[in-house]
Amino acid sequence: MVHIQRRRHGFTLIELLVVIAIIAILAAILFPVFARARAKARQTACLSNVKQISLALMMYAQDHDETCPRTGGAWWEPLMPYVKNAQVFRTPAYSDDATASSDYVINGLILHGETIASFERPADQIAIVVRAPGSASLGYHPWPNDYNPGPPTWDDLSLYVGGSGASWFTARIGHDVHNDGSNYGFMDGHAKWYRWEQTLEPQLPGLHNIDRTIPGWHH
């Protein structure tokens, strides 16, 4: 009787190392791609929030004789009937940060009860901005006024020093929370991603203080 021996085929150490190396190379290539895709998805979701808030601001004004809300820190409360969902005020960029009641800040100039018509270029006037992580309130304003003449520079987004020399609020605009930029909502209801330096004059000529009072930003 003839016995046929069946040889067992297996991977050699070299073959296993080659496979592991290929997997490592693919992971190194694909993981950054997946990370960028997730970051882009968060940016898009946040942009949708900013647009909804900006449109809510416009709808509020349309229902109140073209006048913006006149309120204090809780600026989002008058807008709630127009957004329906409180999660709109939470950006996916800060999944574990509940420092403030809203992940967005509003241009304090708007909260003087200004009319839409008082803005010369609503499409250039920033209304809504993402706050910086860990910031509970924000008082920086980038427009020239009686206390801060000249064009805006945004050299120090963390602190504004008024004409008396006293420091104001110490929180920051989230100017780089999404792919080295941030989402901005405007007075005409549109929203767009910008690198923060693109928001300086003369790129956005609407960044001026129309009533020459200190507008501030409200969380």
* Residue 6 banded pLDDT, cuts 50, 70, 90: low
Residue 184, judged by CB atoms within 10 A of its CB (0-12, 13-18, 19+), counts as buried
Overall domain count for the chain: 1
- The predicted model scores a pTM of 0.68
The dihedrals phi and psi of 101, each to the nearest 5 degrees, come to -70, -20
Q: What is the pLDDT of residue 45?
A: 92
In this prediction, residue 134 has a pLDDT band, given cuts at 50, 70 and 90, of low
**pLDDT score recorded for residue 111:** 73
Q: Does the pLDDT at position 133 exceed 50?
A: yes
Lowest-confidence segment of 2-6, 93-97, 179-183 by average pLDDT: 2-6
62 domain residue, yes or no: yes
Tokens of 48: 């949708």
Domain membership of residue 96 as a residue range: 13-218
59 belongs to a structural domain? yes
Of residues 88 and 155, more confidently modeled: 88
In a domain, 3, yes or no: no
Interacting residues of 144 by C-beta distance below 8 A, sequence separation 6+: 150, 151, 152, 208, 209
Mean pLDDT, the chain, whole residue set: 71
Element spanning 81, H or E: helix 80-83
Mean pLDDT of 167-179: 59
**pLDDT band, residue 96 (cuts 50/70/90):** low
Q: Answer with the residue of higher pLDDT: 69 or 101.
A: 69
Q: Please, which residues have CB within 8 angstroms of residue 75's CB and are 6 or more apart in sequence?
A: 69, 102, 106, 111, 218
Q: Mean pLDDT across the stretch 206-217?
A: 37
Residue 1 lies in a domain: no
| Residue 6 covered by a domain | no
Express each pLDDT in 178-203 by its tens digit.
Answer: 888 889 898 899 999 988 767 665 54
pLDDT at 5: 57
Mean pLDDT, range 15-30, rounded to an integer: 84
Q: What average pLDDT does range 118-124 have in this prediction?
A: 80
For residue 184, tell me if it sits in a domain: yes
Q: What is the residue whose two structure tokens read 């999404």?
A: 178
Phi, psi of 205 (to 5 degrees): -65, -10
